[in-house]
Amino acid sequence: MVKKSHGYRARTRSLMSKRIRERGMSSLSQLLVDYEIGQRVDIVINPSVHKGMPHRRYHGRTGIVTDMRGRGVVVEVKLGRATKTLIVRPDHLQPSRG
């Protein structure tokens, strides 16, 4: 028997794949958004950018920006009762509409 894979991107075949016409790098307007402390953001993983990618369990979650670290953004996300702190690149964030 083959041993089960437990990698960082295990079981993400549909979650971390783009549709055929969305493939390639994303637009510059998404990267040039300035996030401010206290702003609500949605974590939407961009699979074409591997740097600063959060774990797949946070895909689709909403968090609050608490700090900026170089090119990264520090986001606090509620996961059950726990509050998790993530350092995410802006490629995987978008301003929350709700």
Predicted confidence at residue 51, as pLDDT, reads 92
The confidence score (pLDDT) of residue 27 equals 87
Domains of the chain in start order, with CATH, are: 20-95 (2.30.30.70)
Residue pLDDT tens, the chain, 98 long: 899 989 888 988 988 899 999 898 888 998 899 999 999 999 999 999 999 999 999 999 999 999 999 999 999 999 999 999 999 999 999 999 97
pLDDT value, residue 68: 96
pLDDT the model gives residue 82: 97
**Burial degree of 88 (CB within 10 A; 0-12, 13-18, 19+):** buried
46 by Cβ neighbours in 10 Å (0-12 / 13-18 / 19+) ranks as buried
